[in-house]
């Protein structure tokens, strides 16, 4: 059943109002010459023309904009015989302003005359393109800065290590050659000098590793966290075979991430648990997963020294310690490295514990790829 003339007219009015109100450009032009047959207000706005839409028909597209690529290239894409063509292109308005548009078009044929025309829809994507280019430029600057930082770190590390090696070497030579003329206190002082130098050298290595987490390139793939927990546990047992410790490691726990970085996370968390259970006659260290706030969280739990939750914010700071070196050795960098790696993966890490009752370190790993990477 055909629509009545009144209904057809009403539909046409609705369509005309829609074309007048939309911010996107809608226009029709001849297939052969590119002369505009119709243009709405959105088209005039995008091209920043000083005329009403009614004044546009009869003009050629090349007269209304400045193409930054050959006009024929754009026309060839728009005029293709496929049903619908979708592409983006850049041009300048006659006033010199840059524009990027998303162009959707199709070729139609007049059933009565057989003449072809192109009907097109354009959306102004200038702001999103500018943001995209700014982000690309920022990433390039960050990549360059990371390379400079890497070079600087290694240069500084080399410059610092040289005098440290000299101090350590001459202190040892002095002890070897002049031990007979030194009393016990003198030998103790020199021993402390060497311990301080060696600790400084280790801190330099730790700082380099912490910095390296931020600028090394990454990959994302399936990783077996349970297998790495087992490897770390076996390594710790080989390191101190006399220790009595029970490892309870959940099997089959996997995630997506960078294998090298996540292996470092597991090693640092289990090292931390091993260290702070050293005074337990028989320690218990557990690796597993639990649901926290509706999301899967992995955890490493121990029954060691624990910590006061009032100082939890210090746990993940570089060289921040809640215990003295005499109580538990180390530089306080392992947890900082682990948290930075998890953060780079888009996850989070936190800790819960109580003094004398052990600690639990949780971390999440979202689905998807690793962030960043140079």
Summarize pLDDT for 70-114 with one digit per residue, the tens. 555 555 555 555 566 788 889 999 999 999 999 888 888 888 888
Q: Is 50 exceeded by the pLDDT of residue 373? A: no
Would residue 1 count as lying in a domain?
no
Question: Which among 193-202, 293-302, 332-341 has the top mean pLDDT?
Answer: 293-302
Between 356 and 156, residue with greater pLDDT: 356
pLDDT of residue 62: 86
Same domain, 169 and 256: no
Is 138's pLDDT higher than 50?
yes
Domain boundary among 194, 215, 236: 215
What integer pLDDT is reported at residue 362 of this predicted model?
95
Tell me, what's the pLDDT at 55?
93
Domain boundary among 91, 106, 124: 124
pLDDT tens-digit readout, 197-249: 877 777 777 667 666 666 666 778 888 999 989 999 998 888 888 888 899 99
Quick one: pLDDT at residue 206?
66
Do 106 and 139 fall into the same domain?
no
- pLDDT of res. 58: 92
Task: Find out whether 170 and 194 touch, Cβ atoms under 8 Å.
Answer: no
pLDDT surpassing 80 at residue 321:
no
Does 254 share its domain with 369?
A: yes
Kindly give the pairing relationship between strand 295-302 and strand 283-292. antiparallel
Domain that holds residue 75: 6-124
Where residue 43 falls among pLDDT bands split at 50, 70, 90? Answer: very high
Q: Is 331 among the domain residues?
A: yes
Contact between residue 52 and residue 92 where contact means Cβ atoms under 8 Å apart:
no
CATH code of residue 35: 3.30.450.20
Nearest to 262 by CA among 300, 306, 318, 315: 300
Q: Quick one: 203 and 261 in the same domain?
A: no
102 closest CA partner among 130, 76, 121 = 121
List, in sequence order, every residue forming a beta bridge with 297; answer none if it has no partner. 290
Average pLDDT, the chain: 81
Are 120 and 158 members of one domain?
no
pLDDT of residue 70: 59
Say if pTM beats, i.e. exceeds, 0.75: no
Q: What is the CATH number of the domain that holds 144?
A: 1.10.287
Verify that 177 and 70 share a domain, yes or no: no
Phi, psi at residue 346, to the nearest 5°? Answer: 85, 10
> What pLDDT does residue 192 have?
84
More confident residue, 287 or 115: 287
Last residue of one domain, picked from the residues 93, 124, 155: 124
């Amino acid at each position: 059943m055909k629509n009545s003339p009144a209904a057809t007219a009403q539909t046409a009015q609705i369509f005309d109002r829609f074309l007048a109100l939309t911010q996107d450009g809608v226009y029709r032009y001849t297939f052969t010459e590119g002369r505009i047959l119709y243009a709405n207000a959105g088209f005039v706005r995008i091209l920043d023309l000083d005329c009403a839409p009614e004044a546009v028909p009869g003009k050629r597209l090349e007269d209304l904009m400045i193409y930054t690529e050959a006009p024929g290239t754009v026309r060839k894409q728009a005029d293709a015989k496929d049903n619908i063509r979708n592409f983006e292109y850049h041009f300048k308005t006659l006033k010199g302003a840059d524009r990027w548009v998303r162009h959707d078009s199709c070729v139609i044929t007049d059933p009565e005359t057989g003449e072809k025309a192109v009907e097109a829809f354009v959306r102004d994507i200038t702001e999103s393109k500018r943001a995209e280019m700014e982000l690309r430029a920022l990433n390039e600057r960050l990549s360059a800065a990371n390379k400079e930082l890497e070079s600087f770190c290694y240069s500084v590390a080399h410059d610092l290590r040289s005098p440290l090696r000299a101090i350590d070497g001459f202190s040892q030579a002095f002890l070897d050659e002049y031990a007979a003329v030194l009393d016990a206190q003198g030998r103790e002082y020199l021993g402390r000098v060497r311990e301080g130098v060696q600790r400084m050298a280790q801190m330099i290595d730790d700082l380099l590793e912490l910095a390296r987490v931020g600028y090394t390139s990454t990959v994302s793939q399936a990783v077996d966290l349970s297998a790495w927990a087992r490897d770390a546990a076996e390594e710790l047992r080989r390191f101190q075979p006399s220790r009595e410790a029970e490892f309870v490691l959940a099997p089959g726990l996997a995630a997506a991430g960078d294998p090298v970085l996540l292996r470092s996370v597991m090693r640092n968390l289990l090292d931390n648990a091993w260290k702070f259970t050293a005074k337990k006659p028989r320690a218990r260290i557990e690796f597993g997963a639990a649901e926290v706030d509706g999301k899967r969280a992995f955890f490493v739990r121990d029954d060691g020294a624990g910590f006061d939750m009032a100082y939890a914010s210090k746990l993940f700071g570089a060289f921040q310690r809640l215990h003295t070196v005499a109580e538990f050795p180390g530089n306080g960098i392992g947890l900082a490295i682990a948290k930075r790696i998890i953060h780079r993966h888009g996850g989070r890490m936190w800790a819960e514990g109580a003094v004398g009752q052990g600690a639990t370190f949780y971390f999440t790993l979202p689905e998807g790829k690793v962030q960043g990477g140079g």
